[in-house]
Amino acid sequence: MLPEKQRIVVTGIGVLTSIGIGIDAYWDSLVKGKSGIGSVTQFDASDYPCRVASEVNDFDPAQYMDPKEVKRNDRYTHFAVAAAKLAMTDGKLDKTSVDPERFGVLVSSGIGGLGTIEKQSRTLFERGPRRVSPFMIPCLIANIASGVVAIEMGARGPNFSVVSACAGGTHAIGEALKFLRSGDVDVMLAGGSEAAITQLGFAGFCAMKAMSTSYNDNPDTSSRPFDATRDGFVMGEGAATIILEEYEHAKKRGAKIYAEIIGAGLSGDAYHVTAPAPEGEGAFRSMREALRDGGINPEDVDYINAHGTSTILNDLNETKAIKKLFGEHAYKLAISSTKSMTGHLLGATGALEAIVCILVIKNSIIPPTINLDVPDPECDLNYTPKIAISKNVDYAITNTFGFGGHNSTLLFKKYDE
Protein backbone atom coordinates (compact mmCIF):
# COMPACT_ATOMS: atom_id res chain seq x y z
CA MET A 1 0.00 0.00 0.00
CA LEU A 2 1.15 3.53 -0.69
CA PRO A 3 2.20 5.66 2.30
CA GLU A 4 -0.84 7.21 3.92
CA LYS A 5 0.09 10.74 2.87
CA GLN A 6 -0.16 9.56 -0.73
CA ARG A 7 -3.48 7.77 -0.42
CA ILE A 8 -5.83 9.06 -3.10
CA VAL A 9 -9.58 8.64 -2.72
CA VAL A 10 -12.70 9.19 -4.80
CA THR A 11 -15.03 11.70 -3.15
CA GLY A 12 -17.45 12.75 -5.89
CA ILE A 13 -19.07 11.32 -9.01
CA GLY A 14 -20.81 13.06 -11.91
CA VAL A 15 -22.33 11.12 -14.77
CA LEU A 16 -24.52 11.92 -17.74
CA THR A 17 -25.59 9.07 -20.04
CA SER A 18 -28.47 7.67 -22.05
CA ILE A 19 -29.49 5.49 -19.10
CA GLY A 20 -29.43 8.18 -16.47
CA ILE A 21 -28.21 11.60 -15.44
CA GLY A 22 -26.69 11.54 -11.97
CA ILE A 23 -25.17 8.72 -10.00
CA ASP A 24 -28.39 7.19 -8.65
CA ALA A 25 -30.22 7.01 -11.98
CA TYR A 26 -27.14 5.65 -13.74
CA TRP A 27 -26.47 2.93 -11.18
CA ASP A 28 -30.10 1.89 -10.94
CA SER A 29 -30.26 1.40 -14.71
CA LEU A 30 -27.02 -0.59 -14.76
CA VAL A 31 -28.17 -2.97 -12.06
CA LYS A 32 -31.50 -3.49 -13.82
CA GLY A 33 -29.80 -4.18 -17.14
CA LYS A 34 -31.52 -1.27 -18.87
CA SER A 35 -30.41 -0.41 -22.39
CA GLY A 36 -30.15 3.21 -23.45
CA ILE A 37 -29.68 2.36 -27.13
CA GLY A 38 -32.36 3.31 -29.64
CA SER A 39 -32.84 4.54 -33.19
CA VAL A 40 -30.87 7.67 -34.04
CA THR A 41 -32.94 10.81 -33.51
CA GLN A 42 -30.37 13.62 -33.91
CA PHE A 43 -30.37 13.37 -37.70
CA ASP A 44 -31.96 11.32 -40.46
CA ALA A 45 -29.94 8.10 -40.45
CA SER A 46 -32.04 6.23 -43.01
CA ASP A 47 -29.20 6.15 -45.56
CA TYR A 48 -26.61 4.92 -43.06
CA PRO A 49 -25.70 1.24 -42.59
CA CYS A 50 -25.87 1.76 -38.81
CA ARG A 51 -29.00 3.53 -37.57
CA VAL A 52 -28.73 3.02 -33.80
CA ALA A 53 -27.03 5.00 -31.05
CA SER A 54 -27.01 5.65 -27.33
CA GLU A 55 -28.26 9.24 -27.12
CA VAL A 56 -28.69 11.52 -24.13
CA ASN A 57 -32.25 12.75 -24.34
CA ASP A 58 -34.13 15.31 -22.22
CA PHE A 59 -30.92 17.18 -21.43
CA ASP A 60 -31.09 20.95 -20.99
CA PRO A 61 -27.60 22.48 -20.78
CA ALA A 62 -29.09 25.73 -19.50
CA GLN A 63 -29.66 23.95 -16.19
CA TYR A 64 -25.88 23.83 -15.76
CA MET A 65 -24.52 26.80 -17.75
CA ASP A 66 -25.41 30.40 -18.47
CA PRO A 67 -27.57 30.45 -21.64
CA LYS A 68 -25.02 32.72 -23.36
CA GLU A 69 -22.28 30.18 -22.65
CA VAL A 70 -24.48 27.39 -23.94
CA LYS A 71 -24.61 29.13 -27.33
CA ARG A 72 -20.85 29.65 -27.34
CA ASN A 73 -19.94 26.03 -26.64
CA ASP A 74 -20.30 22.63 -28.26
CA ARG A 75 -22.54 19.86 -26.97
CA TYR A 76 -19.53 17.93 -25.67
CA THR A 77 -18.63 20.90 -23.46
CA HIS A 78 -22.23 21.13 -22.23
CA PHE A 79 -21.96 17.49 -21.16
CA ALA A 80 -18.60 18.03 -19.46
CA VAL A 81 -19.79 21.02 -17.42
CA ALA A 82 -22.93 19.15 -16.36
CA ALA A 83 -20.96 16.09 -15.24
CA ALA A 84 -18.44 18.26 -13.42
CA LYS A 85 -21.13 20.15 -11.52
CA LEU A 86 -22.85 16.89 -10.62
CA ALA A 87 -19.54 15.58 -9.26
CA MET A 88 -18.91 18.74 -7.27
CA THR A 89 -22.40 18.60 -5.77
CA ASP A 90 -22.06 14.92 -4.98
CA GLY A 91 -18.68 15.52 -3.35
CA LYS A 92 -19.92 18.57 -1.43
CA LEU A 93 -16.96 20.46 -2.83
CA ASP A 94 -17.02 24.18 -3.60
CA LYS A 95 -14.65 27.08 -4.00
CA THR A 96 -14.41 27.56 -0.23
CA SER A 97 -13.36 23.99 0.55
CA VAL A 98 -10.26 23.78 -1.65
CA ASP A 99 -7.37 26.10 -2.47
CA PRO A 100 -8.04 27.00 -6.12
CA GLU A 101 -4.32 26.85 -6.95
CA ARG A 102 -4.23 23.26 -5.67
CA PHE A 103 -7.32 22.18 -7.60
CA GLY A 104 -6.81 20.82 -11.11
CA VAL A 105 -9.01 19.68 -13.99
CA LEU A 106 -8.34 17.02 -16.64
CA VAL A 107 -11.24 16.33 -18.99
CA SER A 108 -10.56 14.18 -22.03
CA SER A 109 -12.34 13.99 -25.37
CA GLY A 110 -11.48 11.69 -28.21
CA ILE A 111 -12.89 13.95 -30.91
CA GLY A 112 -13.96 17.26 -29.38
CA GLY A 113 -16.55 19.49 -31.00
CA LEU A 114 -17.49 17.38 -34.00
CA GLY A 115 -20.97 18.88 -34.15
CA THR A 116 -19.42 22.35 -34.40
CA ILE A 117 -17.06 21.22 -37.17
CA GLU A 118 -19.98 19.82 -39.13
CA LYS A 119 -22.20 22.87 -38.64
CA GLN A 120 -19.54 25.46 -39.41
CA SER A 121 -18.25 23.56 -42.44
CA ARG A 122 -21.76 23.64 -43.84
CA THR A 123 -21.94 27.38 -43.13
CA LEU A 124 -18.60 27.97 -44.86
CA PHE A 125 -19.50 26.10 -48.03
CA GLU A 126 -23.09 27.32 -48.26
CA ARG A 127 -22.80 30.92 -47.03
CA GLY A 128 -19.13 31.86 -47.26
CA PRO A 129 -16.23 32.50 -44.85
CA ARG A 130 -17.65 35.68 -43.35
CA ARG A 131 -20.58 33.76 -41.89
CA VAL A 132 -18.40 31.33 -39.94
CA SER A 133 -18.82 31.83 -36.19
CA PRO A 134 -16.01 33.58 -34.27
CA PHE A 135 -16.61 30.97 -31.60
CA MET A 136 -15.89 28.08 -33.98
CA ILE A 137 -12.31 27.36 -32.99
CA PRO A 138 -12.78 27.49 -29.20
CA CYS A 139 -15.94 25.42 -29.64
CA LEU A 140 -14.33 22.57 -31.51
CA ILE A 141 -10.89 22.08 -29.97
CA ALA A 142 -10.62 18.97 -27.81
CA ASN A 143 -9.17 20.75 -24.78
CA ILE A 144 -11.85 23.39 -24.43
CA ALA A 145 -14.19 21.34 -22.23
CA SER A 146 -11.43 21.02 -19.65
CA GLY A 147 -10.80 24.75 -19.86
CA VAL A 148 -14.46 25.69 -19.50
CA VAL A 149 -14.91 23.30 -16.56
CA ALA A 150 -11.93 24.90 -14.82
CA ILE A 151 -13.44 28.36 -15.37
CA GLU A 152 -16.79 27.22 -13.98
CA MET A 153 -15.11 25.60 -10.95
CA GLY A 154 -12.53 28.31 -10.33
CA ALA A 155 -9.82 25.64 -10.51
CA ARG A 156 -6.41 27.20 -11.13
CA GLY A 157 -4.22 24.13 -10.82
CA PRO A 158 -3.12 21.80 -13.64
CA ASN A 159 -5.54 21.99 -16.53
CA PHE A 160 -5.33 20.26 -19.90
CA SER A 161 -6.97 17.56 -21.97
CA VAL A 162 -5.70 14.08 -22.74
CA VAL A 163 -6.52 13.04 -26.30
CA SER A 164 -5.96 9.32 -26.80
CA ALA A 165 -9.13 8.15 -28.53
CA CYS A 166 -11.15 5.73 -26.40
CA ALA A 167 -8.45 5.51 -23.73
CA GLY A 168 -8.64 9.23 -22.98
CA GLY A 169 -10.95 9.10 -19.98
CA THR A 170 -8.81 6.58 -18.13
CA HIS A 171 -5.61 8.34 -19.15
CA ALA A 172 -7.03 11.58 -17.69
CA ILE A 173 -7.75 9.88 -14.38
CA GLY A 174 -4.35 8.20 -14.37
CA GLU A 175 -2.60 11.54 -14.95
CA ALA A 176 -4.69 13.13 -12.21
CA LEU A 177 -3.51 10.38 -9.87
CA LYS A 178 0.11 11.27 -10.65
CA PHE A 179 -0.45 14.95 -9.89
CA LEU A 180 -2.01 14.08 -6.54
CA ARG A 181 0.77 11.67 -5.62
CA SER A 182 3.35 14.35 -6.42
CA GLY A 183 1.88 16.57 -3.71
CA ASP A 184 1.39 19.47 -6.10
CA VAL A 185 -2.41 19.44 -5.76
CA ASP A 186 -5.04 18.45 -3.21
CA VAL A 187 -7.98 17.82 -5.54
CA MET A 188 -8.35 16.83 -9.20
CA LEU A 189 -11.55 16.65 -11.21
CA ALA A 190 -10.93 14.16 -14.02
CA GLY A 191 -12.90 12.34 -16.68
CA GLY A 192 -14.12 12.61 -20.24
CA SER A 193 -16.86 13.93 -22.47
CA GLU A 194 -18.02 13.10 -26.00
CA ALA A 195 -20.78 14.16 -28.38
CA ALA A 196 -19.95 12.61 -31.74
CA ILE A 197 -23.39 11.35 -32.79
CA THR A 198 -23.45 13.49 -35.92
CA GLN A 199 -23.80 12.81 -39.63
CA LEU A 200 -20.06 13.17 -40.10
CA GLY A 201 -19.17 10.97 -37.13
CA PHE A 202 -21.52 8.25 -38.25
CA ALA A 203 -20.37 8.43 -41.86
CA GLY A 204 -16.75 7.99 -40.82
CA PHE A 205 -17.30 5.04 -38.50
CA CYS A 206 -19.68 3.39 -40.96
CA ALA A 207 -17.07 3.73 -43.70
CA MET A 208 -14.66 1.87 -41.42
CA LYS A 209 -17.27 -0.86 -40.97
CA ALA A 210 -16.76 -0.52 -37.23
CA MET A 211 -20.37 -0.12 -36.07
CA SER A 212 -23.19 -2.60 -35.69
CA THR A 213 -25.51 -2.89 -38.70
CA SER A 214 -27.51 -6.07 -38.04
CA TYR A 215 -29.83 -4.85 -35.31
CA ASN A 216 -31.28 -1.61 -36.67
CA ASP A 217 -34.79 -2.94 -36.11
CA ASN A 218 -33.98 -4.01 -32.53
CA PRO A 219 -31.68 -1.26 -31.24
CA ASP A 220 -31.58 -2.35 -27.61
CA THR A 221 -30.01 -5.66 -28.66
CA SER A 222 -27.35 -4.15 -30.94
CA SER A 223 -24.49 -3.88 -28.43
CA ARG A 224 -23.65 -7.46 -27.49
CA PRO A 225 -20.12 -7.81 -26.14
CA PHE A 226 -18.62 -11.31 -26.13
CA ASP A 227 -21.63 -12.70 -27.99
CA ALA A 228 -20.97 -14.84 -31.07
CA THR A 229 -23.41 -12.71 -33.10
CA ARG A 230 -21.79 -9.34 -32.31
CA ASP A 231 -21.02 -7.25 -35.37
CA GLY A 232 -19.67 -3.91 -34.20
CA PHE A 233 -19.87 -1.21 -31.58
CA VAL A 234 -22.72 1.21 -30.92
CA MET A 235 -21.81 4.87 -30.54
CA GLY A 236 -22.82 6.61 -27.34
CA GLU A 237 -22.55 10.13 -25.99
CA GLY A 238 -22.31 11.74 -22.58
CA ALA A 239 -19.78 12.58 -19.91
CA ALA A 240 -18.36 11.23 -16.68
CA THR A 241 -16.13 12.88 -14.10
CA ILE A 242 -14.82 11.96 -10.68
CA ILE A 243 -13.27 13.95 -7.87
CA LEU A 244 -9.95 12.52 -6.76
CA GLU A 245 -8.64 13.86 -3.50
CA GLU A 246 -5.62 13.45 -1.28
CA TYR A 247 -6.78 11.36 1.67
CA GLU A 248 -5.90 13.74 4.51
CA HIS A 249 -7.51 16.64 2.66
CA ALA A 250 -10.69 14.63 2.18
CA LYS A 251 -10.69 13.45 5.77
CA LYS A 252 -10.16 16.95 7.12
CA ARG A 253 -13.22 18.32 5.34
CA GLY A 254 -15.35 15.31 6.28
CA ALA A 255 -15.84 14.10 2.72
CA LYS A 256 -17.60 10.84 1.99
CA ILE A 257 -15.24 8.37 0.38
CA TYR A 258 -16.37 5.91 -2.28
CA ALA A 259 -13.12 4.04 -2.87
CA GLU A 260 -9.38 4.44 -3.24
CA ILE A 261 -7.56 4.58 -6.54
CA ILE A 262 -4.27 2.75 -6.12
CA GLY A 263 -2.96 2.02 -9.59
CA ALA A 264 -2.81 3.12 -13.19
CA GLY A 265 -1.19 1.27 -16.06
CA LEU A 266 -0.72 2.20 -19.68
CA SER A 267 0.95 0.81 -22.76
CA GLY A 268 1.20 1.27 -26.51
CA ASP A 269 0.64 -1.45 -29.09
CA ALA A 270 2.95 -0.01 -31.78
CA TYR A 271 1.12 -2.35 -34.14
CA HIS A 272 -1.79 -0.88 -36.14
CA VAL A 273 -3.83 2.32 -36.26
CA THR A 274 -7.17 0.63 -35.48
CA ALA A 275 -6.64 -3.09 -34.83
CA PRO A 276 -5.43 -4.29 -31.40
CA ALA A 277 -2.11 -6.07 -31.06
CA PRO A 278 -2.39 -9.86 -31.56
CA GLU A 279 -3.23 -11.96 -28.50
CA GLY A 280 -4.08 -8.80 -26.55
CA GLU A 281 -0.41 -8.17 -25.87
CA GLY A 282 -0.82 -4.42 -25.25
CA ALA A 283 -3.88 -4.92 -23.07
CA PHE A 284 -1.96 -7.52 -21.05
CA ARG A 285 0.85 -5.06 -20.32
CA SER A 286 -1.56 -2.26 -19.40
CA MET A 287 -3.30 -4.44 -16.82
CA ARG A 288 0.00 -5.81 -15.52
CA GLU A 289 1.37 -2.29 -14.97
CA ALA A 290 -1.76 -1.19 -13.10
CA LEU A 291 -1.40 -4.10 -10.70
CA ARG A 292 2.30 -3.39 -10.25
CA ASP A 293 1.56 0.26 -9.55
CA GLY A 294 -1.02 -0.74 -6.95
CA GLY A 295 1.23 -3.37 -5.37
CA ILE A 296 -1.22 -6.25 -5.63
CA ASN A 297 -1.19 -9.69 -7.22
CA PRO A 298 -3.48 -10.81 -10.06
CA GLU A 299 -5.37 -13.17 -7.76
CA ASP A 300 -6.36 -10.21 -5.56
CA VAL A 301 -8.59 -8.74 -8.28
CA ASP A 302 -12.30 -9.51 -7.95
CA TYR A 303 -13.90 -7.62 -10.85
CA ILE A 304 -13.02 -6.29 -14.28
CA ASN A 305 -15.07 -3.78 -16.19
CA ALA A 306 -14.01 -4.86 -19.66
CA HIS A 307 -13.50 -2.55 -22.60
CA GLY A 308 -15.87 -5.01 -24.27
CA THR A 309 -16.80 -3.02 -27.36
CA SER A 310 -18.89 -5.70 -29.12
CA THR A 311 -16.40 -5.88 -31.98
CA ILE A 312 -14.93 -9.18 -33.08
CA LEU A 313 -11.27 -8.31 -32.52
CA ASN A 314 -11.53 -6.35 -29.28
CA ASP A 315 -13.57 -8.84 -27.30
CA LEU A 316 -11.44 -11.79 -28.36
CA ASN A 317 -8.12 -10.05 -27.74
CA GLU A 318 -9.20 -8.65 -24.40
CA THR A 319 -10.27 -12.13 -23.31
CA LYS A 320 -6.86 -13.50 -24.31
CA ALA A 321 -5.11 -10.72 -22.40
CA ILE A 322 -7.11 -11.44 -19.24
CA LYS A 323 -6.29 -15.15 -19.48
CA LYS A 324 -2.61 -14.43 -20.00
CA LEU A 325 -2.33 -12.17 -16.96
CA PHE A 326 -4.66 -13.93 -14.54
CA GLY A 327 -4.15 -17.57 -15.49
CA GLU A 328 -6.62 -19.87 -13.73
CA HIS A 329 -7.86 -16.94 -11.66
CA ALA A 330 -9.34 -15.50 -14.88
CA TYR A 331 -12.18 -18.00 -14.56
CA LYS A 332 -12.92 -16.84 -11.00
CA LEU A 333 -13.21 -13.18 -11.93
CA ALA A 334 -16.51 -11.39 -12.33
CA ILE A 335 -16.36 -9.44 -15.60
CA SER A 336 -18.90 -7.29 -17.37
CA SER A 337 -19.14 -4.88 -20.27
CA THR A 338 -21.53 -2.09 -19.46
CA LYS A 339 -21.21 -0.90 -23.06
CA SER A 340 -23.95 -3.43 -23.68
CA MET A 341 -26.25 -0.84 -22.07
CA THR A 342 -24.59 2.55 -22.68
CA GLY A 343 -22.87 1.97 -25.99
CA HIS A 344 -19.34 3.25 -26.55
CA LEU A 345 -18.74 6.83 -25.38
CA LEU A 346 -15.34 7.06 -27.10
CA GLY A 347 -13.19 9.51 -25.11
CA ALA A 348 -15.62 9.49 -22.18
CA THR A 349 -15.99 5.72 -21.93
CA GLY A 350 -13.00 5.11 -19.67
CA ALA A 351 -14.19 7.57 -17.05
CA LEU A 352 -17.73 6.25 -17.25
CA GLU A 353 -16.56 2.69 -16.68
CA ALA A 354 -14.17 3.71 -13.91
CA ILE A 355 -17.29 4.90 -12.13
CA VAL A 356 -18.78 1.43 -12.59
CA CYS A 357 -15.81 -0.05 -10.74
CA ILE A 358 -16.14 2.48 -7.94
CA LEU A 359 -19.84 1.71 -7.51
CA VAL A 360 -19.30 -2.04 -7.75
CA ILE A 361 -16.86 -1.80 -4.84
CA LYS A 362 -19.18 0.48 -2.88
CA ASN A 363 -22.37 -1.54 -3.42
CA SER A 364 -21.11 -5.14 -3.77
CA ILE A 365 -23.17 -5.65 -6.94
CA ILE A 366 -21.85 -6.63 -10.38
CA PRO A 367 -23.88 -5.13 -13.25
CA PRO A 368 -24.57 -7.51 -16.13
CA THR A 369 -23.48 -7.80 -19.72
CA ILE A 370 -26.85 -7.76 -21.44
CA ASN A 371 -27.58 -9.32 -24.85
CA LEU A 372 -25.11 -12.15 -24.18
CA ASP A 373 -27.38 -14.73 -25.79
CA VAL A 374 -24.95 -16.93 -27.73
CA PRO A 375 -21.56 -16.87 -25.96
CA ASP A 376 -18.58 -16.84 -28.28
CA PRO A 377 -16.78 -20.13 -27.49
CA GLU A 378 -13.45 -18.28 -27.63
CA CYS A 379 -14.73 -15.76 -25.08
CA ASP A 380 -15.37 -18.23 -22.28
CA LEU A 381 -14.93 -16.22 -19.08
CA ASN A 382 -17.64 -15.13 -16.64
CA TYR A 383 -19.04 -11.97 -18.21
CA THR A 384 -22.03 -11.81 -15.84
CA PRO A 385 -24.61 -12.49 -18.53
CA LYS A 386 -27.94 -10.65 -18.46
CA ILE A 387 -28.55 -10.40 -14.70
CA ALA A 388 -26.67 -8.49 -11.98
CA ILE A 389 -25.16 -10.51 -9.15
CA SER A 390 -24.18 -9.74 -5.57
CA LYS A 391 -20.47 -10.08 -4.83
CA ASN A 392 -18.04 -8.53 -2.38
CA VAL A 393 -15.36 -6.72 -4.33
CA ASP A 394 -12.16 -5.49 -2.72
CA TYR A 395 -10.23 -4.72 -5.92
CA ALA A 396 -11.57 -3.81 -9.36
CA ILE A 397 -9.97 -2.76 -12.62
CA THR A 398 -11.29 -1.08 -15.74
CA ASN A 399 -9.75 -1.40 -19.20
CA THR A 400 -9.89 1.01 -22.12
CA PHE A 401 -8.15 0.68 -25.47
CA GLY A 402 -8.12 3.28 -28.23
CA PHE A 403 -7.31 3.74 -31.91
CA GLY A 404 -3.60 4.38 -32.26
CA GLY A 405 -2.76 1.48 -29.96
CA HIS A 406 -3.41 3.38 -26.72
CA ASN A 407 -4.14 1.15 -23.70
CA SER A 408 -5.03 2.22 -20.18
CA THR A 409 -6.09 0.42 -17.00
CA LEU A 410 -7.13 1.79 -13.60
CA LEU A 411 -7.13 -0.09 -10.29
CA PHE A 412 -9.54 0.72 -7.46
CA LYS A 413 -9.62 -0.60 -3.90
CA LYS A 414 -12.32 -0.77 -1.25
CA TYR A 415 -11.89 2.11 1.18
CA ASP A 416 -10.76 1.13 4.66
CA GLU A 417 -9.93 3.74 7.27
Q: Which are the catalytic amino acids?
A: 166, 307, 344
**Could you give the CA distance from residue 369 to residue 318 in angstroms, rounded to a whole number?**
15
Of 77, 410, 37, the residue nearest 232 (C-alpha): 37
Q: Residue 12: enclosing H or E segment and its boundaries?
A: strand 8-17
The one-character DSSP state at 97 is S
Whole-angstrom distance, CA of residue 69 vs CA of residue 159 = 20
What is the amino acid identity at position 100?
P
Helices (H), 96-167: 114-127, 136-140, 144-153
Residue 36's CB is within 10 A of a number of other CB atoms, namely 24
Length of the chain: 417
Other C-beta atoms lying within 10 Å of the C-beta of residue 333? 21
Cβ neighbours of residue 333 closer than 8 Å, sequence gap 6 or more = 301, 302, 303, 304, 322, 326, 381, 382
Query: In Å, what is the CA distance from 398 to each residue of 58, 96, 99, 222, 408?
Result: 29, 33, 30, 22, 8
Please, what's the b/e burial string for 161-189 (b: 16 or more CB within 10 A of its CB; e: otherwise)? bbbbbbbbbbbbbbbbbebbbeeebbbbb
> Do the Cβ atoms of 11 and 248 come closer than 8 Å?
no
Burial class (CB in 10 A: 0-12, 13-18, 19+), 156: middle
Read off the amino acid at residue 328: E
3-state SS assignment for residue 371: coil
Burial of 382 by CB count in 10 Å (0-12 exposed, 13-18 middle, 19+ buried)? middle
**What is the rounded CA–CA span in Å between residue 239 and residue 235?**
13
